[in-house]
Structure 1
Amino acid sequence: MGTTTGDIKFGRAFGEKHFMFKPGYITGSYGAYPRQVRDALRSVQDEIQAAPDGFVRFVYPERLKVVRHLLADFLRADVDEVVIVPNATIGLNAVLRNLVFKPGDRVAYVKGIYGAIEKTVDYLAETTPVASVCIEFDLIADDDEKLLRCFRSTLDRYKNQVKVAIFDTVMSMPGLRMPFERLAQTCKDYGVLSVIDAAHGIGLIDLDLRSLEADFLVTNCHKWLFVPHTCAVLYVARRNQHLMRSSIPTSHGFQPLPDIVREKQYISAYEASESTNPFVYQFEYTGTIDNGPPLCVPSALEFRKTVCGGERHVRDYCQLLARDGEALAVKLFGTEALRISESKRVAFANVRLPLQFSSKVDDGTLSCIPIADAGLVLNLLLRRLRDDYDTFVNIAFVSGSLWARFSAMIYLELEDFEYGATALKALCTRVSEGDYRVSHDEAA
């Protein structure tokens, strides 16, 4: 696909050298980590198993401080505003479930946020006095300015009721950069807490948390930073840390209210932690987990710097590959790409699949697929991509059509996009012929 700098050339050969995909497998959905990071993970796991108790109790907290400092520098944040959680969903749940809601409060969220987070909002509406409000946004038809108008309009409509607003840095499906900086500023203007889902964030786009001045943000290191599962960063601005009464799950670092403490006496070795503040202490040890992935952050950052030539080279290559791969897929499908400006482009290619859906059955023909069957179609496409073509592309039903999101990365090249798009085109032909119905009947 091209050389980024000096002798560093990304693409399939680079992937075969540094990553661990089995021969013939082409990934086009989520990230992976290289052999160098795998070796670091195994080294940590071996060290843990050599003396598990001492490592978990004494060594891990010290190593974790180093990791937090590295990630804080990478994200341009203060180190005591950054802790490690297993993934973005857990981090966002920690934030949302700690907030105390009263009757009349509302949680606003932009339509299209990650499904598990939308359901977390639904759960809060079931179990607390809060109500939810969805900010309508059509990813296919609307632009940033319309989103911002709808965002402000919602905050005006529910003046002094919206306590928190949830939005993405990069929407997952389709994959595009959101105007999260302007949304965060709008939250500040209205006195609303901003909760930013940056699951697709670190390693994919620049994040400057000091300049952003968000209230809460979480970002996955295992998607695009080349860190093993499970490792994510939870950022909580100092001004809001008093709101985080407990980690999830509640840990040894939890400090009960004084009237409870008076009736009990806590004696625990974990109380001796030298963590700089109660918020950091709570998230330092939340139970027995695999301590290896977070401690691989130094190796991942070193790989990106020395082997890949730095952040700019990684992102430039991936964005160029996504743009070229998108054009190739559009030509193969005979459809269209998501209409976005270059400023909103990240390392994703978004292309509409050549399938027509309708709310009506089209005179018994198969030229239009009933919308009610969209789930069956989606299931067939994803399963057959894996089983028949040994690849995977993320697909979602958005605004009346199925859209594919191809993810570009340094271990891929244009021929891989051609392979994935050709596979999808063949599968779409099968769908148009009604094969998804046959497959569903056989499975039933």
Structure 2
Amino acid sequence: MAKRHVEYGKSLLQLFEFDPEYRHLNHGSFGAAPRDIRKHMRHHQDLAESRPDSYIRYEYPVILDECRAAMAKLVNAHVDTIVFVPNATVGVNTVFQNLTWDDDGKDEIIYFSTIYGACAKIVDYVVDSTSGKVSSRAVPLSYPCEDEDVVKAFHSALEDSGNAGKRAKICLFDTVSSLPGVCFPYEAIIKACRDAGVLSLVDGAQAVGLVPIDLDSLDPDFFVSNCHKWLYVPRSCAVFHVPLRNQHMITTTTPTSHGYVPQSGSRFNPLPPSKKSAFVNNFEFVGTLDTSAYVCVKEAIEWRERVLGGEKEIFEYCHALAVSGGHEIASILGTEVMDNPSHTMSKCAMINVALPLDGEDRSLEIQHWIMRTLAEEYKTFIPLKEDAGRVWARLSAQVYTDMDDFIWAGQTLLAVCNRVKRGDASQTHTEDS
């Protein structure tokens, strides 16, 4: 492993492009790309502008293949199973758009109640658009819970599905859930899906760069993960992995473009001929989009190794800071951190802390007031989510943050919660109405 040349903490802020007055405590939503990586992206945008045809048709595919190879090495996957899409939501949409459903109306989609909202709506759309051909079943989860409880809940849902005369076709689940930001036992659920003959669709939106991923060992049926969150790739870029055995299922991109091979015969394709697999070729060019973020993947992976010392050091620092920082905030607020006794829920760089709010102060309107107030008055943002009758704040640890940021966050959250108790939020809501 390369020795990192800088110390983690505030000294690294100079490597990013944050407003000096802004504290970025929410890396988990939109990520952040270092200045050098954004410079690399702009260089490729300039190349595309200087000679569009030459770059887009002939140079870009070669660079893209290098980035696919770098990503394949990082996640331990065959390079021909790796392509890029704009974001994890597009990847999940792509899988559901390509699946075929049985006419007997028994096919069922299994998902967990902690699913990301946009992905839940993808499931809703499939159910709505198939006119009863497909149904869905939510697996209820209540945090905190142990990993084995999640697996038991999955098996219970499969049993309920069968008893209802349904056939579980595919299960959609996280690696690290978004809100609250906790680790999900995806390894165990992938195996449980395989044993039950159910397709596994892993929404790893928060995975790459946040937790170690070994796709060869995991062997999911479909996996997608944003690179623009934790891997320092500029927005928008996600890795989409489909093992060779399942690539025949993915016949079109989202949207359909030149790579699609129609059953009725061939159509004219203005792009250069390619000897790459149908799957790889399909995703190489999906209309005229700005895919300059895709060609930053290799550079970002190398930058993390060269400047920061590599994945292991990044993970260890961010995880330790998230855990210790979360407990510091909980101490300031007089509340607690969301975790289970085995601490598997907190094995990442995000931590969830309960806010000292009760009754009507937990309303969705109050939560939105707090988040907007943090953004407008305190120059930060901390996402909130109610779970099990409590409002939880999710904070992200990063190489450019340190304990001082978490102490400040705790003091700021306490001040804002005190304002809520004084009625400031209710008064503002009344005035806005």
User: TM-score of the superposition, structure 1-length normalised?
Assistant: 0.92
Counterpart contact for 2:4–2:306, Cα < 8 Å: no
Shift of 1:7: 5.0
Looking at structure 1, the residues matched to 58 and 6 of structure 2 have their Cα atoms a distance apart, in angstroms, of 40
CA pair 394-192 structure 1, distance change in 2 beyond 3 A = same
Question: What CA RMSD, in Å, does the superposition of the two structures yield over aligned residues?
Answer: 1.5
Which residue of 1 is the match for residue 153 of structure 2? Answer: 150
Looking at structure 1, the residues matched to 140 and 196 of structure 2 have their Cα atoms a distance apart, in angstroms, of 19
Which residue of 2 is the match for residue 254 of structure 1? Answer: 260
1:108 matched to 2:110? The reply is yes
Which residue of 1 is the match for residue 249 of structure 2? Answer: 243
Looking at structure 2, the residues matched to 66 and 370 of structure 1 have their Cα atoms a distance apart, in angstroms, of 51
1:188 matched to 2:197? The reply is no
Which residue of 2 is the match for residue 9 of structure 1? Answer: 7
The match for 1:130 among 125, 134, 147 is 134
| 3-state SS, counterpart of residue 316 of structure 1 | helix
Looking at structure 2, the residues matched to 71 and 59 of structure 1 have their Cα atoms a distance apart, in angstroms, of 19
Which residue of 1 is the match for residue 300 of structure 2? Answer: 300
Which residue of 1 is the match for residue 87 of structure 2? Answer: 87
Which residue of 1 is the match for residue 330 of structure 2? Answer: 330
Which residue of 2 is the match for residue 273 of structure 1? Answer: 274
Which residue of 1 is the match for residue 20 of structure 2? Answer: 23
Counterpart contact for 2:361–2:420, Cα < 8 Å: no
1:406 matched to 2:395? The reply is yes
Looking at structure 2, the residues matched to 298 and 209 of structure 1 have their Cα atoms a distance apart, in angstroms, of 18
The match for 1:353 among 342, 352, 355 is 355
Looking at structure 1, the residues matched to 269 and 121 of structure 2 have their Cα atoms a distance apart, in angstroms, of 37
| More deviation, 431-440/344-353 | 431-440
Shift of 1:271: 6.2
Looking at structure 1, the residues matched to 380 and 60 of structure 2 have their Cα atoms a distance apart, in angstroms, of 37
Shift of 1:418: 1.4
Q: List per-residue Cα deviations over 1:163-204 (Å, max 9, x = no partner).
A: 000111111112121111110000000100000010010001
Gaps of 5+ in 1: 357-367
Shift of 1:339: 2.3
Query: Match of 2:9, as an amino acid?
Result: G
Which residue of 2 is the match for residue 62 of structure 1? Answer: 62
Looking at structure 1, the residues matched to 207 and 313 of structure 2 have their Cα atoms a distance apart, in angstroms, of 17
Aligned pairs for 1:224-243 (under 5 A) are 224-243=230-249
CA pair 131-380 structure 1, distance change in 2 beyond 3 A = same
Looking at structure 2, the residues matched to 378 and 274 of structure 1 have their Cα atoms a distance apart, in angstroms, of 53
Q: List per-residue Cα deviations over 1:85-111 (Å, max 9, x = no partner).
A: 000000110001211122111000011
Write 1 or 2 for the structure with the bigger share of strand.
1
Looking at structure 1, the residues matched to 245 and 295 of structure 2 have their Cα atoms a distance apart, in angstroms, of 28
Looking at structure 2, the residues matched to 186 and 441 of structure 1 have their Cα atoms a distance apart, in angstroms, of 50
| 3-state SS, counterpart of residue 211 of structure 1 | helix
Query: Match of 1:381, as an amino acid?
Result: I
| 3-state SS, counterpart of residue 170 of structure 1 | coil
The match for 1:117 among 90, 94, 119 is 119
Looking at structure 1, the residues matched to 275 and 33 of structure 2 have their Cα atoms a distance apart, in angstroms, of 32
Shift of 1:349: 1.7
Shift of 1:6: 6.6
| 3-state SS, counterpart of residue 101 of structure 2 | coil
Looking at structure 2, the residues matched to 319 and 238 of structure 1 have their Cα atoms a distance apart, in angstroms, of 34
| More deviation, 19-28/210-219 | 19-28
Which residue of 1 is the match for residue 386 of structure 2? Answer: 397
Query: Match of 2:233, as an amino acid?
Result: V
| 3-state SS, counterpart of residue 294 of structure 2 | helix
Query: Match of 1:34, as an amino acid?
Result: P
User: TM-score of the superposition, structure 2-length normalised?
Assistant: 0.94
| 3-state SS, counterpart of residue 222 of structure 1 | coil
1:208 matched to 2:214? The reply is yes
Counterpart contact for 1:60–1:291, Cα < 8 Å: no
| More deviation, 404-413/426-435 | 426-435
1:435 matched to 2:433? The reply is no
| 3-state SS, counterpart of residue 24 of structure 2 | strand
The count of residues paired between Structure 1 and Structure 2 equals: 420
Query: Match of 1:36, as an amino acid?
Result: D
CA pair 243-347 structure 1, distance change in 2 beyond 3 A = same
